[in-house]
Amino acid sequence: METQKNDETDEALDGLFVTFTHAVLPRLDQWITAGELWADYYLRGDFEENAYYRKMEQIPAFGGLLQKHLSDLLAMEETQHCVEKHIQAGVLPVSTNGTDEAMQQAVLHLIIPLAESCKQLHSLSLANLTDDQMLEQYHHCRVAWEDADSHFTITFPLINFSSDMLQSWQLGTRLFLAPLTSSDKTTLWNDDVKIFTFSTPPLDATTFMQLTWKLVGTFSAPKKEDASDMGNTRQEALDELGDTMNAMHLLKGGDVGSPAIYQKRLEPVLWEGTRMCYPLNQVRQFPSPFSTYELHESDIAPLQALVKVLQQVRSAQSRGVSALYGDLSVGLRRFNQSYERRIPEDQIIDLTIALESTLLADRNEELTYRLAVRGAALLADAEIPWEPRKSRALLTTMYDVRSRIVHGGLQLSDKDNLKKIRNLGMQSKDFLQQCEQIVRDVLKAYVQRRIRGQSVRQVNEDLEAHIMDGLGAQMSSTDVSQ
């Protein structure tokens, strides 16, 4: 009985929608004849294996025209009846309180399948529209209206990547590794430029043409949180991309990157919002073409295992923390950054910091002590001397903060670092200035000692001797007093 009742309701709503469209189409035809319909222009792209073609095309803005005449539509009896019955049936994602705002939102939803039907026409002759065509779009929208979530396909093209595989593989929770065919490129390009007609495409056509693989997945967000920027959903996609790219770098050598993001909402809307253009901070965007990343089918199982572990590590962290992978964050970040360096010495620094953040994570007390005491001894005899207790405290805090940044993945603004800075009697902005000044004075002291013919090593030997002499004098003084 319940199924029969639902079928009767659906059939009644179908009839109401058809009646609504039959009443609207003559009005729409009048507005078009009056010259009110405008077009959105876009640069269409068609991709082949080693070529692409572009031409300017246009899309009639049926949805925009209907939205412009929203008040006229609301005044129609057929519109009011259709809206009321749809709200009563609970099939539209709008409030059921019957307010003017709810009525307007309902009409905006109902004109979407009508506008989508008009887009399928090859001319502006609305007489060619059939009820079946409009109901097909209406049923597609009905499914989306009754879904609590909005769904998006997010695609990350891979650059500097090659594989002899012929099929797709799931790597993470949502992302699949899949071939990027010429047809895929044509669809991705045109779906993007049709919506974001006034902004630069995520990739230039020449680069896009050369890519052959992608990471692609479907992500969802509750409609009650569905804002124009889709921040949470997009960050979720970026985090999983980071897991996958980290896993690829850990698996084997080769410099793979992901230079762009393509998104597509899986339900038609009147207005999409902003393009997903978040910076890919955790991902190599344009790697060196001389170090191609090659992946084979035998690599898939260990790659999937690495992605799984990284996702588990990331999921175990508190929401909103800057260290995505806990105590592995710095090591992973520095390892990835080493791919970006063009100077070998910079690569060594990144790689040694990555090692230090793991192998020496529990061995920083002696390093901190030695740096602080040597610095205090050096600056006590500088051109503009520092009070030893002050310089030692600053250097100790400076190196401690550096260690927390390097080994713990913390930022300067994290509360533990701010507490240490406040213990010096200063704010974070003053701390940065004081760090700059003390480093300047230390370097200046070494330069001045070099004029005297001393190397850095010789200066340090003198400092050690001075420190030991001071300890000896202190012990002698203690013995005498006893």
Structure tokens at 477: 């003084």
363 confidence band (pLDDT: 50, 70, 90): low
* Per-residue pLDDT, 436: 76
Which segment, 4-8, 151-155, 285-289, is predicted with the most confidence on average? Answer: 151-155
pLDDT at 233 over 80: no
What is residue 323's DSSP assignment?
-
Those residues whose C-beta lies under 8 Å from the C-beta of residue 342, and which sit 6 or more positions away, are: none
Question: Model confidence over 278-296: pLDDT tens digits?
Answer: 545 455 555 566 578 999 9
* Per-residue pLDDT, 397: 86
Structure tokens at 348: 């060594």
- Report the alpha-carbon distance of residue 82 to residue 89 in Å, rounded: 11
- Report the alpha-carbon distance of residue 457 to residue 468 in Å, rounded: 16
| Average pLDDT of the chain to the nearest whole number | 83
* Per-residue pLDDT, 459: 84
Which segment, 6-10, 56-60, 401-405, 429-433, is predicted with the most confidence on average? Answer: 56-60
The whole-model pTM stands at 0.74
The answer to whether 37 touches 85, Cβ cutoff 8 Å, is no
- Report the alpha-carbon distance of residue 421 to residue 417 in Å, rounded: 6
Least confident window among 63-67, 444-448, 475-479:
475-479
pLDDT at 54 over 80: yes
Least confident window among 138-142, 232-236, 312-316, 389-393:
232-236
* Per-residue pLDDT, 55: 95
Query: Bigger pLDDT: 460 or 359?
Result: 460
Query: Bigger pLDDT: 48 or 338?
Result: 48
Let me know how long the chain is.
482
* Per-residue pLDDT, 228: 45
pLDDT at 119 over 60: yes
Those residues whose C-beta lies under 8 Å from the C-beta of residue 437, and which sit 6 or more positions away, are: none
CA-based torsion, 361, 362, 367, 369: positive or negative: positive
* Per-residue pLDDT, 268: 87
475 confidence band (pLDDT: 50, 70, 90): low
Those residues whose C-beta lies under 8 Å from the C-beta of residue 194, and which sit 6 or more positions away, are: 40, 42, 59
* Per-residue pLDDT, 65: 95
Tell me the average pLDDT across 48-67: 93
Query: Bigger pLDDT: 232 or 100?
Result: 100
* Per-residue pLDDT, 318: 73
Least confident window among 44-58, 189-203, 269-283, 462-476:
269-283
Question: Model confidence over 296-351: pLDDT tens digits?
Answer: 999 999 899 889 888 888 888 776 666 788 778 888 888 888 888 776 556 666 77
- Picking from 209, 195, 199, the residue whose alpha carbon sits closest to that of residue 53 is 209
* Per-residue pLDDT, 229: 45
What is residue 387's DSSP assignment?
P
Reported as type and span, the H/E element at residue 233 is helix 231-251
- Picking from 205, 232, 228, 337, the residue whose alpha carbon sits closest to that of residue 275 is 228
pLDDT at 476 over 80: no
Tell me the average pLDDT across 79-96: 89
The answer to whether 232 touches 196, Cβ cutoff 8 Å, is no
* Per-residue pLDDT, 235: 81
**Residue 158: CA count within 13 A, CB half-sphere:** 28
- Report the alpha-carbon distance of residue 215 to residue 153 in Å, rounded: 11
Question: Could you tell me the end-to-end alpha-carbon distance of the chain, in angstroms, rounded to an integer?
Answer: 102
